[in-house]
Amino acid sequence: MIERLVHWSRVKSPWVLHLNAGGGCNGCDIEILAALMPRFDLERFGVQLKGTPRHADVMICTGAITLQNRDRVLRIYEQVPDPKFVVAAGACAMAGCVYRGSYHTLVGIDQLLPVNAYVPGCPFRPAALIDAVVKLLNSVK
Amino acid sequence: MEYKVSLGPQHPALHEAVSLRMTLDGEVIRDADLKLGYSHRGIEKLAEERSYIQNIYLTERICGICSHSHTTCFTQGVEQLMELVPARRGLFIRTLIAELERVHSHLLWLGVAGQEAGFESFFMYTWRDREVVLDILEWISGNRVHYAMNIFGGVRRDIDELQRKKILDSLDLLKKRTDYYLNLAASEPTFVGRLAGVGKLSREDAIALCAVGPTLRASGIASDVRKDDPYAVYGEIPFEVATADSCDVLGRAVVRVKELISSYAMIEFLLKNLPEGPFKVKAPRKVKPNEVYSRYEAPRGENVHYIKSNGSDKPERLKVRAPTLANYPATIAMLKKGFIADIPLIFAAIDPCICCAERLVQLDDARRGDSRVLSFSQLRSMANERAKKIDFKKRKIAWPF
Ligand code: SF4
């Protein structure tokens, strides 16, 4: 019973953590914020942006992981309680974008963390992020 | 008794992931130190491995808010190296995009400043209107963030009659809304009172620490690359350099609002005087050995690219100095003698890029030897608590519009 309640609330109101892995241009970060703003209003799906990893269910990662930030990203990932989901948002998080071949970034978040959903685009449109979140929630159901 | 606070590296009000160590005495910041390098991506090295054309797209991705600034700065420099005179219509469109970018960046900033001052609905309002600018940019270029408009010799896309009309229409809407916000801010003494007197940077300090952009202009120095060293078509556009004398966050807000208004006028001027003719000219692929120093007034201040060519189709060296870097020493000076609760506001005042996600601040209390973790929202509510204690009637600070 409790389990079902937890599951239901997880699907109906996922709390997200927005994590900038460092090696991006923050175009994607701004688009995530734009998705939460009145025009796109991601919050109507119950999504709420959270500040600490311990409150989050879904981690939205933008940007490629820089070597200096690598351990921090791992630590933040470990702090998210199970079951956790990772969304790799933007070309940087997916495959390194223009920074491919740089000496200081990893080629994509999935080199370090298991990823549940990818949002392509440099940057993606806010609508694409909404689509990804809805698809992720449907797959969890 | 002093104790140390570390802030970041994942901090929302900072443009890049930066770690800040502060020495505190009670609530007052005595000393601050910055640690950089968390979002180092090796762009300058990557640039050496790519051709000039590829580098336009690389420099665009230095920053997601002032993407056009970096490409324009780079393109201008390379055009000088190529001894290429770009098409006049192309220059007009380039300038137009630059001003639109300034509008969207300043609107974004105003919202963030509003949020840090505890005026959340202001944040929602300005971000809603920012979408109008983004729509315009999307009509012109096809993308909301990375417009990829610049090419050597002009721009990639032309503006047609219909777009011109649509932009002018949207501009009217923006002007109306901006006026409304001005009145809103003016009739909200708490908002003005919260910003006034925070993050002081005297005129002398601003010069000594090489601050740039609105941070410098808010300390009463009328320095603007668009005026001092006109590039593109800024030499022909009539405009005033916006300044303020209050040397604090309020002054920085005033400068940005004034720039918003002058940007609207500039956009109108550019659209009305758009010359006929081609919007791009053909550019050579190889560049003679030479070096160039290119300046550009980005929304946050002077942006500098140094490019050295060696005769091939790749640059030998590209050096980028973004405005935020130039503002770091000034930030440290502003933080000193400030309050912990003002940190978000002071940071937001120089450069607010990634703003809403909350991150952690850890307070280590040396007296008791324990440590406390504060989330950004706690920090913000501390800031709001402090604001409540200010007696606004006594301070008599007026919104200067
Ligand atoms: S995917 Fe593109 S917009 Fe997003 S962070 Fe990377 S470079 Fe910036």
Domain boundaries, chain A: 14-140
Per residue in B50-77, pLDDT (tens digit) is: 899 999 988 888 888 888 999 999 999 9
Per residue in A13-70, pLDDT (tens digit) is: 888 888 887 777 888 888 888 888 888 888 888 888 877 788 888 888 888 888 888 8
Per residue in B236-260, pLDDT (tens digit) is: 888 888 888 888 888 888 888 889 9
Residue A134 near chain B (CB below 8 Å): no
Reduce the DSSP state of residue B280 to 3 states and report it: strand
Interface test with B, best of A17, A19, A30, A75 (most B CBs within 10 A): A30
User: Is residue B37 a part of any domain in this protein?
Assistant: no
User: Is residue B346 a part of any domain in this protein?
Assistant: no
Predicted local confidence at residue B263, as pLDDT = 92
Lookup: tokens for A138: 């449907």
pLDDT(B112) > 60: yes
Predicted local confidence at residue B334, as pLDDT = 82
Task: Give how far the C-alpha of residue B164 lies from the chain's centroid of Cα atoms, to the nearest Å.
Answer: 26
Q: Which CATH class is domain A14-140?
A: alpha beta
User: Is residue B220 a part of any domain in this protein?
Assistant: yes
Reduce the DSSP state of residue A48 to 3 states and report it: strand
CB contact under 8 A, B39 and A31: no
| Among the listed residues B24, B28, B81, the one whose alpha carbon sits nearest the alpha carbon of residue B318 | B81
Residue A16 near chain B (CB below 8 Å): no
Per residue in B152-173, pLDDT (tens digit) is: 988 988 998 899 999 999 999 9
Residue A66 near chain B (CB below 8 Å): yes
Per residue in A85-110, pLDDT (tens digit) is: 899 988 888 888 888 888 888 888 88
Predicted local confidence at residue B391, as pLDDT = 52
Lookup: tokens for B382: 């501390």
**CB neighbours of B249 closer than 8 A, spacing ≥ 6?**
B113, B195, B196, B198, B199, B345, B346, B348, B349
Predicted local confidence at residue B355, as pLDDT = 22
**C-beta of residue A110 within 8 angstroms of C-beta of residue A48:** no
CB contact under 8 A, B38 and A31: no
**Overall number of domains in chain B:** 1
Ligand 1: lining residues by beta carbon, under 6 Å? A 24-25, 27-28, 62-63, 90-92, 97, 122-123; B 61, 64, 145
CB contact under 8 A, A52 and B38: no
User: Is residue B304 a part of any domain in this protein?
Assistant: yes
CATH number for the domain including B75?
A: 1.10.645.10
Residue of B nearest to A29 (CA): B354
Report the complex ipTM: 0.88
Give the mean pLDDT of chain B. Answer: 79
Q: Range with the lowest mean pLDDT among A71-80, B15-24, B52-61?
A: B15-24
**C-beta of residue B5 within 8 angstroms of C-beta of residue B340:** yes
Who wins on pLDDT, B230 or B395?
B230
CA of B339 to the centre of ligand 1 (A): 35
| Mean pLDDT within B289-303 | 89
Q: What's the pTM value of the predicted model, to 2 decimals?
A: 0.85
Q: Indicate the pLDDT class of residue B366, thresholds 50, 70 and 90.
A: very low
Quote the DSSP letter at residue A105: B
User: Is residue B12 a part of any domain in this protein?
Assistant: no
Give residue B271's domain range. Answer: 43-336
pLDDT(B380) > 70: no
Residue A103 near chain B (CB below 8 Å): yes
User: Is residue B2 a part of any domain in this protein?
Assistant: no
